[in-house]
Amino acid sequence: MFLILFLSTTLADQIAAFVADDVILWSEVQENVSILNNDPVARRMFTTEEEIDEYVVDQLIANKLLLIEAEKESVFVEDEAVVPLVTQNIEGLKSNFPSEATFFAYLDEQGINIEELKDYYHENIKSRMIMERLIAKKFAAKIMISPIAVKKFYEENRDSIAIVPGRVKLSHILLPILPDQDEMMRGFEQATDVYKLLLAGGDFGVIAGEFSEDENSRRKGGMLGRIRRGETIEDFEAIVFGLKPGTLSQPFATRLGYHIVEVMNKGDDWVLLRQILIKVSVDRQDTLRTKGVASRLQGLIEDGADFDSLAKEYSRDPNIDLGEFYIERLTPPFDKVVADMAQGEVSEPVLTPYGYHLLYIKEKVAERTLSFEELRDQIMQYLYQQEVQEKYEELIADLKARIYVKKFYPNPG
């Protein structure tokens, strides 16, 4: 009867491993591999698909060995204890997506249904809990973490584990360097003339090749290709993402000049378009004028004016709050500027390719080193988990020596 069952099983699905009188099928392995492949943290552990396959097979073997030993030792984990943790993991995964519908759409794209995902978490969480209870029963008395070991770990690793980097919350006012009114009018008039040619029936690609001053797209008849949100400047995105497919825009201005775009297709977060760009140029006087405005605003803020109110009035970036950053990870030129500033201070005008910025520090916390007392419990838990992992590996090795295991690797298919 076992032979008949074995033959019928191999016809339906290939066997990845035997564990005692049980089997692990390659379909089960691939379900787990599929889910693991969509975990970016876990995915970085491996360099090849074969490594992932072997890891999953070994984990499934270990799970079955643990269940056998748990039954022998009368160690059980009730489903009621596992289900809340499964739900917690699923909800945590959902939180990475903008909506529940997006989450389920992503699962569908990856060929994973929600029940498979729940089963995956259920099996892994239950196996971990069984392992912890087995280890506690078999080795709890042998795992002793001494205060001396904890202190020694702190002293040897203080520079890597106890340093809390300095952080800062930044806001800014952005003043792009724009041409004067005469230059803007020249660009607008030229763009209007080109727009009239298009309205008269002129071919967009031909006119782009003749008049566009964007060297990259001009050679391709103005084609910019597919643009995703966040890939280009904000004032350009604000216009093109509001257009319908097949629409030709009127000339509109950004700091690059005047654009005329044709939206050819679009999705939720992308547009396919081509453009004609009429550039407008800035000179030294434009730069000095913008810096003068920035310096005037700096003086007003230092005299007590409200930063947020001025930012709403003058900044060309709608995102006044830049967010929170580790000071050591700020890039030039912001890193040196922020290093010398205190909380509540405004910077001098800072020049970047986007224009002049005034940085304002809403909150600044200096780097500090956590004391031994602050880290003692975490180190104790870490060292304990290290010992548990070591005992787990010893237990699996012992079970493999006592229980029949046959692994078919690599995948025979």
Give the model confidence (pLDDT) of 267-325 as tens digits: 888 999 999 999 998 889 999 999 999 999 999 999 999 999 999 999 988 889 999 99
Region 365-383 average pLDDT: 94
Residues 90 and 121 in one domain: yes
Q: Where does a domain end: 244, 279, 314?
A: 279
Do residues 24 and 61 touch, judged by C-beta distance below 8 A?
A: yes
Question: 360 or 59, which is more confident?
Answer: 360
Residues 246 and 315 in one domain: no
pLDDT at 346 over 70: yes
Residues 82 and 44 in one domain: yes
CATH code for the domain in which residue 28 is found: 1.10.4030.10
Domain assignment present for residue 152? The answer is: no
Residues 105 and 246 in one domain: no
CATH code for the domain in which residue 268 is found: 3.10.50.40
Region 33-51 average pLDDT: 78
CA distances from 31 to 7, 38, 110, 119 (A): 22, 11, 11, 10
User: Which contiguous run of DSSP H or E holds residue 147?
Assistant: helix 147-161
Please tell me the distance from the alpha carbon of residue 161 to that of residue 392, in angstroms, as a whole number. Answer: 26
pLDDT at 392 over 90: no
Residues 37 and 104 in one domain: yes
Q: What is the pLDDT of residue 10?
A: 46
CA distances from 226 to 233, 237, 347 (A): 15, 12, 38
CA distances from 72 to 66, 129, 136, 402 (A): 10, 16, 15, 13
3-state helix, strand, coil in the chain (%, to 5): 55, 20, 25
Residues 9 and 132 in one domain: yes
Mean pLDDT across the chain, nearest whole number?
Answer: 88
Q: What is the pLDDT of residue 7?
A: 40
Domain assignment present for residue 413? The answer is: no
Please tell me the distance from the alpha carbon of residue 356 to that of residue 348, in angstroms, as a whole number. Answer: 9
Helix (H, G, I), strand (E, B) or coil at 227: strand
Beta pairing partners, 15: 25
Instruction: Show Cβ contacts of residue 86 under 8 Å, excluding neighbours closer than 6 positions.
Output: 118, 121, 122, 125
Residues 289 and 272 in one domain: no
Domain assignment present for residue 375? The answer is: no
Domain assignment present for residue 54? The answer is: yes
Domain assignment present for residue 9? The answer is: yes
Q: Where does a domain end: 228, 263, 279?
A: 279
Q: What is the pLDDT of residue 99?
A: 82
Region 319-336 average pLDDT: 93
Number of domains in the chain: 3
Residues 189-246: tens digit of each pLDDT: 999 999 999 999 999 999 999 999 999 899 999 999 999 988 888 889 989 999 999 9
Instruction: Show Cβ contacts of residue 47 under 8 Å, excluding neighbours closer than 6 positions.
Output: none
CA distances from 289 to 128, 175, 200 (A): 65, 11, 40
Please tell me the distance from the alpha carbon of residue 308 to that of residue 306, in angstroms, as a whole number. Answer: 6
Confidence of residue 35 (pLDDT cuts 50, 70, 90): confident
Domain assignment present for residue 148? The answer is: no
Domain assignment present for residue 154? The answer is: no
Helix (H, G, I), strand (E, B) or coil at 224: strand
Q: Where does a domain end: 258, 279, 300?
A: 279
Residues 16 and 89 in one domain: yes
Residues 140-156: tens digit of each pLDDT: 777 889 999 999 999 99
Residues 172 and 296 in one domain: yes
Residues 196 and 47 in one domain: no
Do residues 173 and 349 touch, judged by C-beta distance below 8 A?
A: no
Residues 173 and 305 in one domain: yes
CA angle (31 as vertex; 25, 36 as ends), nearest 5: 125
Q: What is the pLDDT of residue 222?
A: 94
Residues 130 and 9 in one domain: yes
Domain containing 212 equals 181-279
Please tell me the distance from the alpha carbon of residue 112 to that of residue 290, in angstroms, as a whole number. Answer: 54
Q: What is the pLDDT of residue 13?
A: 66
Domain assignment present for residue 113? The answer is: yes
pLDDT at 109 over 90: no
- Which ranges of 74-113 would DSSP assign to H, the alpha helix? 79-94, 100-109
Confidence of residue 409 (pLDDT cuts 50, 70, 90): low
Confidence of residue 66 (pLDDT cuts 50, 70, 90): confident
Q: What is the DSSP letter of 302?
A: H
pTM: 0.57
State the greatest distance between any 2 C-alpha atoms of the chain, in Å, as a whole number. Answer: 93
pLDDT at 169 over 70: yes
